[in-house]
Structure 1
Amino acid sequence: MTTTHLLYLHGFRSSPQSAKARQMAAHVAQHHPGVTFWCPQLPPSPKAAMELVAQGIAPWRGAAMAVIGSSLGGFYASWVAQHKGCPSVMLNPAVHPARDLARYIGEQTTWHDPAERFYFQPEYIDELRALDTAGQPPAAPEMAIIAKGDEVLDWREMVARYPQARLVVQEGGEHALANFSDYLPQVTEFLALA
């Protein structure tokens, strides 16, 4: 089955302006112009974020779509893949966001526009718990690209979370996965982009 629709989910405090989101969008536009690419700006509320995504992809057939997610977006990507039965690619995925983001409750700024602020509410932690698909067998093939040098998340936890995924574990690197473009051919092949 080929993928005709691709969803990209950015991470916490990030946006569709992230380097990886823009690289993926450009790659799809150049090499797979027939593929519908969508990278929405996700609201801070995990519940609201997944409602927005679910609404946007409602007409997409699970068998013809795929999802890529970075960091918190990787956590969300697992939820989307579980609900749509579609392949997923996680880039340095957050695997315990309810635990890790608890210390970020309060006012936050976005990476790409520090003037832009949002408030991370305490109830968002329960919303994250409600979206956790850990422990469920994957509904479709998974791939995880993980940098051992990630300064934000523990690569060992990421590897342990995705035991059935095709794992690409990079020596060194960093959370932003600055060399993401090196992996575009593998990602494209794995997702069988049309």
Structure 2
Amino acid sequence: MSALEQKQRPLLIYLHGFLSSPQSYKCQLMRERLAAEHPRIVFCAPQVSPYPAIAQQSLVALVERFLNSGGCGPIGLVGSSMGGFWSSYLAERYGLPAVLVNPAVHPGRFMPAYVGQVLKPYSGESQEYRLTEADVDTMRQLDGELRQPLRGRYWLLAQRGDETLDYRDAETFYRGQRQTIEDGGDHSFQGFARYCEPIVEFLFNQQ
């Protein structure tokens, strides 16, 4: 691979859900599939802070670092749950394609329920978080920046059996975009492995 080809490799950014981590099942599965079947695609799965201001700053810096690296290839986003919101935020800001898996829509509406609670990552890490009203205000501000018509190119993957988020919110918000909504399932999105290859095709046109 030439130096130019190395610089122009596509980048897939996977964004996990609230209090989850890059060690989540879907994230690791996507990483393994790309390594085995699409080694030219660079895989990036950052740890996304539950604090919205920190998350926004770090994710914007990540994308801009890649865009400013010179001769970069295409960028595609995959986001699960809260990661779906952040993927949409980045897709709108930079005009990127994104696949959203049971995404959080308008998270500023449900974040107040977590204010003041001691929050621990689902991955079992020892770190703790505590959201404040200022975090809620920041989330609502960022939430309000996502407006119709959407600039990005989206594929919504949702399951009606999602016990955490109402799939109808996403169905409505991403109306006019590609949608696959399945009966049954749950918030983790059962059978995600079926979509790994189609996701790559959607994001990178089989590159």
- Which TM class, normalised by the smaller chain length? over 0.9
Which of 149, 153, 162 aligns to 2:165? It is 153
Distance, in Å, in 1 between the alignment partners of 2:26 and 2:158 is 14
2:45 partner letter: C
Aligned to 2:96: 86
% identical equivalent positions = 33
Distance, in Å, in 1 between the alignment partners of 2:34 and 2:141 is 32
Aligned to 1:38: 44
Deviation, 1:135, is 2.7
Is the aligned partner of 1:189 residue 2:201? Answer: yes
The 3 A distance-change label for structure 1 pair 125 and 56 is: same
Which of 141, 144, 165 aligns to 2:156? It is 144
Is there any run of 5+ residues in structure 1 with no aligned partner, and where? none
- Tell me, yes or no, if the aligned pair for 2:83 and 2:103 is still in contact at 8 Å: yes
Is the aligned partner of 1:107 residue 2:115? Answer: no
Indicate the SS of the match to 2:129.
strand
- Tell me, yes or no, if the aligned pair for 2:18 and 2:83 is still in contact at 8 Å: yes
Which of 1, 24, 27 aligns to 1:21? It is 27
Which of 11, 18, 21 aligns to 1:12? It is 18
Mean Cα displacement is larger for which, 5-14 or 62-71? 62-71
Q: Say which structure, 1 or 2, has more relative contact order (CA 8 Å, 6+ apart).
A: 1
Mean Cα displacement is larger for which, 35-44 or 106-115? 106-115
**TM-score with structure 2 length normalisation?**
0.87
Distance, in Å, in 2 between the alignment partners of 1:142 and 1:24 is 18
The 3 A distance-change label for structure 1 pair 3 and 84 is: farther
Distance, in Å, in 1 between the alignment partners of 2:58 and 2:147 is 25
Deviation, 1:96, is 2.1
Aligned to 2:4: none
Which of 124, 143, 163 aligns to 2:135? It is 124
Distance, in Å, in 2 between the alignment partners of 1:92 and 1:102 is 20
- Tell me, yes or no, if the aligned pair for 2:11 and 2:73 is still in contact at 8 Å: no
Matched positions, count: 193
Partner deviation per Cα, 1:63-109 (whole Å, 9 max, x = no partner)? 71011111111011110001111101110000021111211112111
- Tell me, yes or no, if the aligned pair for 1:63 and 1:86 is still in contact at 8 Å: no
Indicate the SS of the match to 2:193.
helix
Report the aligned-residue RMSD: 1.8
**TM-score with structure 1 length normalisation?**
0.92
Distance, in Å, in 2 between the alignment partners of 1:166 and 1:60 is 27
Distance, in Å, in 1 between the alignment partners of 2:174 and 2:150 is 9
- Tell me, yes or no, if the aligned pair for 1:63 and 1:85 is still in contact at 8 Å: no
The 3 A distance-change label for structure 1 pair 131 and 171 is: same
2:101 partner letter: L
Aligned to 2:3: none
Is there any run of 5+ residues in structure 2 with no aligned partner, and where? 1-7
Is the aligned partner of 1:171 residue 2:183? Answer: yes
Is the aligned partner of 1:97 residue 2:107? Answer: yes
Is the aligned partner of 1:49 residue 2:55? Answer: yes
Distance, in Å, in 1 between the alignment partners of 2:166 and 2:139 is 19
